[in-house]
Amino acid sequence: ETGVTQSPTHLIKTRGQQVTLRCSSQSGHNTVSWYQQALGQGPQFIFQYYREEENGRGNFPPRFSGLQFPNYSSELNVNALELDDSALYLCASSPADRAYEQYFGPGTRLTVT
Amino acid sequence: QKEVEQDPGPLSVPEGAIVSLNCTYSNSAFQYFMWYRQYSRKGPELLMYTYSSGNKEDGRFTAQVDKSSKYISLFIRDSQPSDSATYLCAMRGSNSGYALNFGKGTSLLVTP
């Protein structure tokens, strides 16, 4: 059974640029959630996707957007990058009948300079 | 006041010790309680989850939830150097969507 995978592992962007992060959910999981983890902090919920629809959103501005595809993989897009967007971005997938069980990928470390 | 409070540590114990990790929370609507382990530069790994109050045991790990005190604990018996990691508590309500509310994490070091 393949776990949650994310790409890229690391990337460096300049303030004002746009970035797309990708996530493949664990086999059999149809719900994907995205979190931002700043250094020394716990993950903060960005949003969740279920059946290709946004199913909940945390306290993040609209420049954070996402997509879920028919194969349940997902993308996180961030526009107009700010220095404070530097963080570890985590994707988590859940099985349909146990959405509270969230299994995380290794994350993408984004640095904004 | 944050909804979930967790002492960041660091907590250093000798190998073989019993470790107690704790979180407090303020939202009485929380019903699901999880513990994650996160190694440096890795994603969090789900260790255990508990619904409502009570205890749950899995090998060397025991999770306890006291909803009356809004207090949860994770105990690690016979701690090993490989247990050295950051431990994150997380929780969510039944009707608040599926967002997990995390603590800051407690850094644990088990020394040989």
Q: A-chain residues within 8 Å CB-CB of B100?
A: 33, 35, 43, 45, 102
The answer to whether the Cβ–Cβ distance between B46 and A107 falls below 8 Å is no
Kindly indicate the confidence band of residue B1, based on its pLDDT and cuts at 50, 70 and 90: low
d(CA A107, CA A98): 22
**Residue-level pLDDT at A102:** 93
Tell which A residues from 13 to 72 touch B, by Cβ distance under 8 Å. Answer: 31, 33, 35, 40-45, 48, 55-56, 58
The residue type found at B58 is: D
pLDDT tens digits for range B65-80? 999 999 999 999 999 9
Does pLDDT of B96 surpass 60?
Answer: no
Closest residue in chain A to residue B37, using alpha carbons only: A104
Which chain B positions have a beta carbon within 8 Å of A107's beta carbon? 42-43
Averaged confidence pLDDT in chain B: 93
pLDDT tens readout for residues B32-61: 999 999 999 899 999 999 988 889 999 999
- Cβ of B112 under 8 Å from any chain A Cβ? no
Per DSSP (E only), the strands in B1-112 are 4-5, 11-14, 19-25, 30-38, 45-51, 54-58, 61-66, 71-76, 85-93, 101-102, 106-111
Per residue in A73-98, pLDDT (tens digit) is 999 999 999 999 999 999 999 987 88
Using the Cβ of A103 and the Cβ atoms of chain B, whether some distance falls under 8 Å is answered with: yes
- What band does B95 get if pLDDT is binned at 50, 70 and 90? low
Q: Which of B32, B42, B98 sits opposite A33 (nearest CB)?
A: B98
Closest CA to A55 of A42, A66, A63, A43: A66
Residues of chain A contacting residue B105, judged by C-beta atoms under 8 Å apart: 41-42
Say how many C-beta atoms besides its own lie within 10 A of residue A10's C-beta.
11
pLDDT, tens digit (0-9, with 9 covering 90-100), for A17-73: 999 999 999 988 999 999 999 999 999 999 999 989 998 899 999 999 999 999 999
Asked if the Cβ–Cβ distance from B4 to A40 is below 8 Å, we say no
Q: How far apart are CA B21 and CA B8, in angstroms?
A: 10
Strands (E), A5-107: 5-7, 10-13, 19-24, 29-37, 44-50, 53-57, 64-68, 74-78, 87-95, 103-104
User: Taken in order A52, A53, A58, A61, is the CA torsion positive or negative?
Assistant: positive
When computed from its CA atoms, the radius of gyration of chain B, rounded to whole angstroms, is 13
Nearest to A85 by CA among A56, A53, A63: A63
Write the residue in A48, A103, A105 that is nearest to B97 by C-beta. Answer: A48
Chain A hits for B88, CB-CB cut-off 8 Å, are 42-43
Residue A12: what pLDDT? 98
Q: Which residue in A25, A39, A45 has the most chain B C-beta atoms within 10 A of its own C-beta, making it the best mutation to test that interface?
A: A45
Rg (CA), chain A: 13
Per-residue model confidence (pLDDT) at position B97? 64
Inter-chain CB proximity A42 and B102 less than 8 Å? yes
Cβ pair B36:A104 closer than 8 A: yes
Cβ atoms of B111 and B13 closer than 8 Å: yes
